[in-house]
Amino acid sequence: MSISPSPSSDGRSGPGSPGDLGPSWQQRYQEGPPRWDLGQPAPALVDWLTAPTVPVPGRVLVPGSGRGHDALLLARHGFEVMAVDFAPEAIAATREQAEAAGLSIQCLQRNIFELTPEYSHQFDYVVEHTCFCAINPDLRPAYVHLMADLLKPGGRLIAIFFTHSRPGGPPFGLSPEAVTPLFSDRFHLLSLEPVKNSVPSRRGEEHFGQLLKQPET
Ligand SMILES: C[S@@+](CC[C@H](N)C(=O)[O-])C[C@H]1O[C@@H](n2cnc3c(N)ncnc32)[C@H](O)[C@@H]1O
């Protein structure tokens, strides 16, 4: 099932609003190092890739990939990576980093909600890190369906959820208890654990989730 929201239809604007098609995020990149940019891959992803139960590499989508730190990490671990962000500055930085490192990464400047049907059922994994928290909560059900539609049968959504409880956003928080009800239409929750090695500014506010796409009916 596909849900294609019309993000620009309600007239609201600003980062994370349904009407945000990218310019405000682009502006934040142009203003200097954005405050969300860790300058390194998410520690929880490093742990996932180096755990004894190391994941089998496959084709992976990194939505809202920013300057590409997580995308590069995945490419280094043998994954075939597509990094998507609608901020041109972010995609340019990813391309530059990948070239400098001699890594092959498909870099696409696009609104993630416009990836289907072109990229439907193409990915073994989606690796989510601070994209979900960047979009307006009104779009969360559409995000769930989008991610399921992009995954192959048996594909997995690997997500670092920002589980802070401050009002407003972005970043918009999500309580750990809300994960199952939100995703259960299309995913089976395999695990959800507090992240133990978050960067200091996110300590105690991240959960690492692994979700299996349910068979399509
Ligand atoms: C909080 S930043 C995180 C970037 C990166 N994941 C990181 O951790 O550094 C959110 C990113 O998602 C991108 N983004 C937000 N909504 C998007 C959408 N609908 N389509 C594509 N990119 C989007 C923004 O341009 C921004 O780069």
CB of residue 44 inside a 6 A radius of ligand 1:
no
Percent pLDDT > 70 in the chain is 89
Is 65 near ligand 1, meaning CB less than 6 Å away?
yes
Give the model's pLDDT for residue 3: 30
**13 has a pLDDT exceeding 70:** no
Domain annotation covers residue 66: yes
C-alpha span between 153 and 167 (Å, rounded): 36
Angle at Cα 45 formed by Cα 39 and Cα 51, nearest 5°?
Answer: 135
Structure tokens at 188: 């089976």
Q: Which atom of ligand 1 is nearest to the CA of 113?
A: 19
The token pair at 90 is 């972010």
The verdict on the CB of residue 195 being under 6 Å from ligand 1 is: no
CATH code for the domain in which residue 128 is found? 3.40.50.150
pTM of the model: 0.92
Asked if residue 159 has its Cβ within 6 Å of ligand 1, the reply is no
pLDDT of 180-208, one tens digit each?
999 999 999 999 999 999 999 999 999 99
In a domain, 14, yes or no: no
Whether the per-residue pLDDT at 157 is higher than 60: the answer is yes
Q: What is the mean pLDDT of residues 68-84?
A: 98
Domain annotation covers residue 148: yes
Residue 59: which H helix or E strand, with range?
Answer: strand 59-63
| 55 pocket-lining for ligand 1 (C-beta < 6 Å) | no
Question: Quick check: is 135 in a domain?
Answer: yes
Q: How far apart are CA 151 and CA 181, in angstroms?
A: 20
| 127 inside domain | yes
Cβ of 87 closer than 6 Å to ligand 1, yes or no, is yes
The count of domains in the chain is: 1
Q: Show the domain range for 95.
A: 35-187+200-213
The helix (run of H) or strand (run of E) holding residue 29 is: helix 23-30
Question: Which ligand 1 atom lies nearest to the CA of residue 90?
Answer: 27
Specify the pLDDT at position 8: 34
Distance (Å, whole) CA 100 – CA 80: 17
pLDDT value, residue 15 = 56
160 occurs within a structural domain:
yes
Q: With contact defined as beta carbons under 8 Å apart, do 60 and 73 qualify?
A: no
21 in any annotated domain: no
- Determine, yes or no, domain membership for 12: no
Q: For the segment 57-66, what is each residue's pLDDT rounded down to a tens digit? A: 999 999 999 9
CA of 170 to the centre of ligand 1 (A): 11
